[in-house]
Amino acid sequence: MGKLVNPHGSATLKCLLLEGKAREDEVRKARTLKKVPLTSRETGDLIMLGIGGFTPLTGFMGQADWKGVCDEMKMPSMNGLFWPIPITLSATEDLAGSIALGEEVALWDVETDTLMATMKVTEKYRIDKAHECRQVFRTTDPKHPGVAMVMAQAPVNLAGPVKVLSESYFPEHFAGLYQRPAEARKQFEERGWSTVAALQLRNPMHNSHAYLAWIAIEVCDGVYIHQLVGKLKPGDIPADVRVRAIDALINKYFRKERVIQAGYPLDMRYAGPREALLHAVFRQNYGCSHLIVGRDHAGVGDYYGPFDAQKIFHEIPRDALELRPLPLDWTFYCYECGGMASMKTCPHESKAVIDDDGNYKGGARLLLSGTMLRKLMSEGKPVPREFSKPEVVAILKEYYDHLEQKVEIQLHGAATGDAAKKA
């Protein structure tokens, strides 16, 4: 049996989640401490710190690490450890001013009124939010959902080590799907896997996703379909619907011994290339040796080129990560080839024409994307059978038929194929 990759920057997972009597004692103490409210993003980050997903971090970053990560993707406090996106906690001026350095505080998820952790505050500092956005998102456009998230942060960052007390609602709400890194590693080892390709998902699997997974299974022991179960932007499909759709696809079209589906608790940042690197970091902690990086990974709108998330892996030191990217080209259904293909394999360049009834009228390449699938479904238009399996379409149709308020889905270059001309 082969050996799984090491956790990032560590020989073992660094889990900050307390259990048993240690947790009971810390909960009792926490109820006497000042409350610091958490945003949804901060709550997800905190849970990942707790379960070892952000190994080897010990808490929220201080100013030197914030700057080092923004500018060079390095943490000075950890001997230049590679890290691609700041993991920070913000507070209002009044609250931050009332907290002394060295003081312990209780971190609360205000949306669910849940005590999440305690933290010893070792530093208080302000940041240049626009600078973080330029470095991480490559834009300061307030329409970018990740930029909007950063600009909405409270003005003062609090740093310090944390003791995590809760995983919020994720273990119960996503029972059988939500997984800690240690649990994933145990499952991989039980199956005898040493090479595992992670497939990042925030959409239901259409045929391009399935094709990427099948390719990964050909070159690795198995594929880890790892979907986000935290918050998304308006118009994205909720996790419980995605789970049903993915289950339907896996159960009929995959060898079950070669695939595992699981979920993780982060919110999407839509940081494109930088987020692809963050996905790589925590997938390595989960035990994955490879990350499938396809078209417009973790992107939104037209802020990133279709393969910028692949290119960034060539811009970091070779030893920054043990995990390796599995870069795959733009994939689509080709009517001339008679099946799924990619731009590396298919010589037929004409774009397929589909009428309003979903019928094929000519051309070769039918470009598939989650955005296009959501747009067709939200507008009640038929989905071409080559786009997605009927079992998946049926589940999505049921969801959209019962949706009271629909968000208009805007197509962008990565969904229409226009970006392919620039790649």
Question: Can you give the CATH number for the domain in which 62 is found?
Answer: 3.10.400.10
Residues 325 and 351 in one domain: yes
Residues 195 and 160 in one domain: no
pLDDT in tens, 206-236: 899 899 999 999 999 999 999 988 876 676 7
pLDDT of the residue at 409: 47
Is 255 catalytic? The answer is: no
Q: Is residue 9 part of a domain?
A: no
Domain boundary among 135, 168, 201: 168
Residues 113 and 195 in one domain: no
Q: Is residue 412 part of a domain?
A: yes
Q: CA–CA separation, 5 vs 323, rounded Å? A: 7
Residues 91 and 192 in one domain: no
pLDDT of the residue at 405: 61
Residues 302 and 227 in one domain: yes
**What is the domain extent for residue 76?**
20-168
Catalytic residue among 41, 180, 185, 202: 202
Q: Is 9 helix (H, G, I), strand (E, B) or coil?
A: coil
Residues 232 and 337 in one domain: yes
Q: CA–CA separation, 191 vs 416, rounded Å? A: 39
Name 26's Cβ contacts closer than 8 Å, sequence gap at least 6.
18, 118, 163, 165
Catalytic residue among 41, 157, 185, 203: 203
Q: CA–CA separation, 91 vs 241, rounded Å? A: 34
Query: CA of 352: how far to CAs of 78, 263, 339, 382, 414, in Å?
Result: 51, 34, 13, 16, 16
Q: Is residue 288 part of a domain?
A: yes
Among the ranges given (186-190, 254-258, 340-344, 393-397), the one the predictor scored with the smallest mean pLDDT:
393-397
Residues 66 and 134 in one domain: yes
Is 6 catalytic? The answer is: no
Domain boundary among 144, 168, 192: 168
Residues 235 and 349 in one domain: yes
Name residue, tokens 């998946």. 392
Name residue, tokens 């955005």. 371
pLDDT in tens, 48-101: 999 999 999 999 999 999 999 999 999 999 999 999 999 999 999 999 999 999
pLDDT at 361 exceeding the cut of 50? yes
pLDDT at 126 exceeding the cut of 60? yes
DSSP string, 284-296: HHTT-SEEEE-TT
3-state helix, strand, coil in the chain (%, to 5): 35, 20, 45
pLDDT in tens, 365-398: 998 877 777 778 888 888 888 988 999 889 988 9
Q: Is residue 150 part of a domain?
A: yes
Q: CA–CA separation, 191 vs 78, rounded Å? A: 34
pLDDT in tens, 297-306: 999 989 999 9
